[in-house]
Chains A and B, each alone.
Chain A
Amino acid sequence: MNINFNVCLLTFFLLFLTACQNKDPSKGLYQQQLFTFGTLIDISIVSDNSEQAKRAIDIISSEFDHLHTQWHPWKNGALGQLNKKFYDASSSSDTFTSPPSVIKLIQDSQLLSEQSNGLFNPAIGQLVKLWQFDQIENENYQFKIPDPEKIQQLLEKNPQMQDILINNEKITTNNAAIVLDFGAFAKGVAIEKMMSILKDQHIDNALINAGGDLKVLGSKNGKAWKIGIKNPAKTQNPSEKAIIAAIELNDNETLFTSGNYERFFEFQGKHYHHIIDPRTGYPAVGTQSVTVLTEDAALADAASTALFVAGPKLWAEIAKKMNVQYVMLISDDNKIYLTPAMAERIELLTDIKPVIVK
């Protein structure tokens, strides 16, 4: 009896130990930072195969470099060349050609632009150029506020994505003011592309963080990817909390944030950020940051910009039109607005009571 009792206990403990050891063996995590696409890109890959991970990162790296040139509004790539043709065009009967990747970019953003009531408007490249945010990395550039008359002129010409017509891969436009700047879209499309590259390389668990906009695949050793969302108030007040909220992302989900603190000029004590309101021609007011969660990075990119421009009053309506369920908007007066779906998922790390907008 005695022996059997001991055998009994021992067997159980052994069973217990083996059960503990077999519990998901952690796979390796490969991380790499890349300076490309005009930002810092952080790639994390969960894999047992380091060769596979490295190969995937190399492919992604060169692809990002390539797309950056191709889709840059002013560099000598596909989009830059198209913009130059738009710029130089003499009459509305001119037709242009462009590679399929740019045509797809135009077509997809036309739909999103329409859904957003024109608040997401990549056709205002000339306005953005006027504000010189492309010069942000130029050493010798001195910021100045653009001539209000020039802004007014461009607004009157009212360039819209719908002014571009595509027929059999031939592009025509009846608006001479059109210049395309996909600053609020290209990153999303690129991330989707990188994710499909990862899948082609048989990588099922990964995270790509492109300057604070990210998308995940699978999980991190069985756990959802845990993301902290930056507190926009911290830029003005260093004593504020760094992270305002935490959220867990599941397979294929993407989180995009547009913030007024990301790219900006300080000029004569005023803050001029890079998100231009296509209705006024000036940096959008009323919002500090918008965070959007969806499964499509391209949509998330466009929507976060559109909702930022929409501001605290209009955003919920536009979010519905763009079919975005998960939104957090932090307004200039430090109010936090959430959609009901977002309120259920997000973990706020602040005492501010959120306003839930249906």
Chain B
Amino acid sequence: MKLHFTTTHEDHRVALLAALAITIHIIESAFPSPLPGIKPGLANVVTLFTFMMYGWKTALQVSLLRVIISSLLLGTFLSPTFLLSLSGALFSLSSLILTQQLFYLFHLTLRLFSRHGLSDNNYSQPGAIGYAIIASISHMSGQFLMAWYFFIPHPGLFKLLPILITFAVILGIVSGIITQLTISQLKRKQIQKSQLQPDNQ
């Protein structure tokens, strides 16, 4: 007996991106951290890229797959570490969506008041760097709040928060630049392709 799976192009894309994210996640888990379980979230680059290129639904699939599969591989499934990275991932993705919606709302408001220009939402939307900073800060604070609430409810823990957020901002900028360069490169190739084959649309 043979089982038949029909997989779409989208599924392949999700699988590819998730695999990439898992690789980064596992490499990252080898790094030491000031608070057990709290990680900088470099795998966020993949989530961010997916979010900006293919939308939040794909990004959600990729980041859930990343969290679940890498915790299975690392043997931390359903452990505190797993819960922390899950909450970090969900926190950062939901604030990405929120930011996008807020800026879209802002764009609509602006369009009401301007007679010319700004017809395209892309002008008022943040770029990868803005999104990456948001993602990184919310990833960090999501994990931090979970850690504080469930595992170490000690007020002294908050002394660490400013340092963690500083790192989050720096990492956000770095991963934002990486993402932006990747996206730019990809778009440039797409444009070159479409210029080479003008009939291909």
Contacts and interface: CB of A to CB of B under 8 A. Distances in A.
Nearest to A344: B153
A86 to B, nearest CB: 48
Contacts of A8: 106, 110, 124
Nearest to A343: B154
Interface residues of A, number: 12
A85 B167 CA distance: 73
A4 B110 contact: yes
A3 B114 CA distance: 9
Given A4-B117, A8-B124, A345 B153 contact: yes
Contacts of A345: 153-154
Contacts of A3: 114
B154 A248 contact: no
Interface residues of B, number: 13
A321 B118 CA distance: 71
A344 B110 contact: no
Contacts of A20: none
B134 to A, nearest CB: 14
Interface string A1-31: 1011001100110000000000000000000
Nearest to A3: B114
Contact of B106 (A11, A248, A344): A11
A240 interface: no
B95 to A, nearest CB: 16
Interface in A314-348: 344-345, 347
A347 B155 contact: yes
Given A1-B117, A4-B118, A248 B155 contact: yes
B156 interface: yes
A11 B109 CA distance: 10
Contacts of A246: 155
A12 B99 CA distance: 13
A4 B154 CA distance: 47
Chain B CB within 10 A, most for which of A4, A248, A344, A347: A4
Contacts of B118: 1, 4
B31 interface: no
A3 B117 CA distance: 10
Contacts of B123: 4
B155 A7 contact: no
Interface string B104-135: 00100110011001100001100000000000
A7 B113 contact: yes
Contact of B156 (A4, A7, A11, A347): A347
Contacts of B153: 344-345
Contacts of B156: 347
A4 B116 CA distance: 9
Interface string A230-250: 000000000000000010100
Contacts of B106: 8, 11-12
A344 B156 CA distance: 10
A353 B35 CA distance: 21
Contacts of A7: 110, 113-114
Interface string B134-158: 0000000000000000000111100
Interface string A243-274: 00010100000000000000000000000000
Nearest to A345: B153
Contacts of A12: 106
A296 to B, nearest CB: 22
Contacts of B113: 7
Interface string A155-199: 000000000000000000000000000000000000000000000
B180 to A, nearest CB: 19
A1 B106 CA distance: 16
B151 to A, nearest CB: 10
A8 B125 CA distance: 11
Contacts of B117: 1, 4
Contacts of B110: 4, 7-8, 11
A282 to B, nearest CB: 39
Contacts of A347: 154-156
Contacts of B124: 8
Contacts of B114: 3-4, 7
Contacts of A344: 153-154
Interface in A185-241: none
Contacts of B154: 344-345, 347
Chain A CB within 10 A, most for which of B113, B123, B155: B155
Contacts of B109: 11
A1 B153 CA distance: 50
A347 to B, nearest CB: 5
Given A4-B118, A4-B123, A11-B109, 9 more contacts: A1-B117, A1-B118, A7-B110, A7-B113, A7-B114, A12-B106, A248-B155, A344-B154, A347-B155
17 contacts: A3-B114, A4-B110, A4-B114, A4-B123, A7-B110, A7-B114, A8-B106, A8-B124, A11-B106, A11-B109, A11-B110, A12-B106, A246-B155, A248-B155, A344-B153, A345-B153, A347-B154
